[in-house]
Amino acid sequence: MKPCYCINPDCSQPEHPSNNNSNTRYCQSCGSQLLLNGKYRVSRLLSDTTGFGIVYEAFEGFTAKILKVLQEKWNNEPKAVELFKREYDVLLELSRQNVTGVPRADAYFQYSTREGKILHCLVMEKVEVINLEQWLNQYDKLSQKRALKWLREITLILDKIHQQNWLHRDIKPPNIMLRNSGELVLIDFGTAREETQTYHQKVKGQQVTGITSAGYTPNEQQHGQAVIQSDFHALGRTFVHLLTGKHPLEIYDPINDVLPWREETENIHPLLLDFIDELMGKLPENRPANTRVILQRLDEIERQLKLPPITPTITSPPPNPQPVVTQKQSPVIPKINSSVSPLDKTLTGHSYRVNSVVYSPDGRYLASGSSDKTIKIWEVATGKELRTLTGHSDWVMSVAYSPDGRYLASGSSDNTIKIWEVATGKQLHTLTGHSSGVLSVVYSP
């Protein structure tokens, strides 16, 4: 016999023992209905500290569900009621589009207590899992392998959500659930909003609700101007939390306005660290343009991580070597010039990691390709930056000089190769055809 819980906020004994009889239709303490919407019986209170709603476990027959009830104090606040109902609207639309990785919407209705109080109720699929904040309490930090897997999985969920022109606006570890099967589920769509609606309201000068979670929400969202890249910022901060085991606010340095999180990680490759930094770019335009770019970047990172390390080739001596008679000579000891420094110059100017460098054929110039999407030409003798080539929309992964030194080729994560005239910096050609990032370019002799 399952326990039965009364959701009337004024009930003095919501867990009255006589309520547990499956034939009991009314609370034996306050007289309110126990069978909600004609089919749901509430079994227990799960949480009354989750934002607008109170969360219960309910059953439809033998199937467990999640029941959310808007807290009574918000009933007369139209914006609170709107946000609460929005979660159902979003989940229902995503369910119709067969989007996986989100809970399935079941019902939205109003429940009246015996005293006539109206409660707003939302029923959805119960995901039998723990959230990632709870997971951290058990496992401390996320490994690189699992980070790549989870980052891809959440991005795929976001891809489906963004395709419907919705923004989640509240991505953080407590809102990501881990099923027993290992599948991730994104929850809490009460703060979600249509991207087009947000934009048009701003254009018309209307007030847009600012939804914030300290440590995760980017600046533009705090000012009511959320865009799809706002979700990416929160995603990056989420993985800072998962990879360090610390809430972003524990790491944040408010005096210098920096987040020195990388030193808190263990055994994480710089490629992944750099990418998470890019997700958290200060401005939306500094972050990936869309989910497809994120997925492509993850492909490239995983390919690079799988490349075998370069090891020197050792040539074995021939078998039974014949002795060679030579005249013994005194060893030649080179003169050491102590005035020469082993480090001649350090060239700075790129704002992100440098992925490729190449000397010009005459050795006078150096070209560098960077994750800041630019190529720079340097004068070797002076270390002076001569020119910055811009045009790629993603990481520059490789650069190569033509044999005569007049042209430069660049390969990028934007799937293109560009040909440049070195003397002028002019972009001459863009070669397309690759379906993924270009990791290497080379001229024929």
Question: How do the domains of the chain map onto residue ranges?
Answer: 17-125, 129-306, 354-431
Q: What is the pLDDT of residues 144-179, one digit of tens each?
A: 999 999 999 999 999 988 887 788 888 999 889 998
- pLDDT in the model for residue 170: 86
Taking alpha carbons only, the member of 442, 445, 395, 394 closest to residue 419 is 442
Cα–Cα distance measured from residue 237 to residue 246, given in angstroms and rounded to the nearest whole number: 11
Q: pTM for the whole thing?
A: 0.61
Beta bridge pairs of residue 64: 59
Query: Which amino acid belongs to residue 393?
Result: S
Whether the predicted pLDDT of 325 surpasses 70: no
Mean pLDDT of 267-290: 93
Q: What is the CA radius of gyration of the chain?
A: 30
Q: What is the DSSP string of 27-67?
A: -TTT--BSEETTTEEEEEEEEEEETTEEEEEEEETTEEEEE
- pLDDT in the model for residue 70: 92
Tell how strand 354-359 and strand 193-194 pair up: unpaired
Answer positive or negative: Cα dihedral of 254, 258, 263, 268.
Answer: positive
Q: Which CATH architecture group holds 17-125? A: 2-Layer Sandwich (3.30)
- pLDDT in the model for residue 342: 52
Whether the predicted pLDDT of 281 surpasses 70: yes
Cα–Cα distance measured from residue 371 to residue 353, given in angstroms and rounded to the nearest whole number: 5
Whether the predicted pLDDT of 115 surpasses 50: yes
CATH of region 354-431: 2.40.10.480
Q: What is the pLDDT of residues 373-408, one digit of tens each?
A: 999 999 998 999 999 999 999 889 999 999 999 999
CATH of region 129-306: 1.10.510.10
Residue 211's pLDDT band, with cuts at 50, 70 and 90, is low
Cα–Cα distance measured from residue 6 to residue 103, given in angstroms and rounded to the nearest whole number: 24
Percentage of the chain exceeding pLDDT 90 = 51
